Each structure stands twice: as C-alpha cells, then as structure tokens.
Amino acid sequence: MSDDKLNTELDLNSDRFIEETIEALKKLDKDEREHYQFLSKAVLKCYFEENNRAVVTISKGIGQTFTLISVNADDYQTNRILSDTHDAVGFGGAASSPAHPPHLLN
C-alpha cells in the first residue's frame, strides 16, 4: 500500500479495503504474515482493553524522519511508554543492562 492510501479514511465495511488488505498480506512471506498477525492482535487489544496501550514508531531510516502513532494513549501516557521503553532496553549507556529485554519479532 502506498503512503497515500494509508492516509485516507478507512471504511472497514468497504470491499476495497478488505481486498487491498488481503492483496498486501499475500505479498508477505510466512514469517512476515505471522509477525503482522501478532502485531495486529496486540494493537487491536489496545482498542478493547482499557489498560493496554501502544506506541508504534515508523522510521524512514536511522536519523531520518519518523511517524509516532499512539494507540489508546494520551500524550502523557505516550511519553511514559517511550521513557519506560528507553529504560527497559537499556539505552542509558554501555554500563546499563535492560531490566526486561525487548520482545523483538524481526
């Protein structure tokens, strides 16, 4: 899907949306589909379970612009998630070690 299509309003009842999604998923290999399924389910939980929140970061490359998408999180919660993630991954320097290693899927 192009960036233009991602920025348009989505109609989940639209056959076109469903067809485009299916076609895009067909282009993924098995591992990518499994990863996408895991990601999709995790994000959807944020809409249905009050305490679940997510922050998705999409980067165009290291040092380049990025898009930050929060799910079920206000500005404070988004900042807190980013801060906690920073601490958990151990970006505090070479001497620090992550308290909880991240669950990286790809």
> Can you give the pLDDT at residue 11?
65
To the question of pTM greater than 0.75 for the whole model, the response is no
Query: What token pair was written down for 12?
Result: 């989940």
Q: What domain range is 106 assigned to? A: 53-106
Which pairing describes strands 66-71 and 54-59: parallel, antiparallel, or unpaired?
A: antiparallel
How many Å apart are CA 81 and CA 78, to the nearest integer? Answer: 5
Comparing CA positions, the residue from 102, 106, 104, 64 lying closest to residue 86 is 102
pLDDT per residue over 31-42, tens digit each? 999 999 999 999
- Residues 55, 71: contact at Cβ < 8 Å? yes
Between 104 and 25, the more confident residue is 25
Mean pLDDT score, 73-78: 93
Residues 62, 48 contacting (CB under 8 angstroms): no
Does one domain contain both 57 and 106? yes
Give yes or no: residues 44 and 61 share one domain.
Answer: no
Looking at the structure of the chain, the number of domains it has is: 2
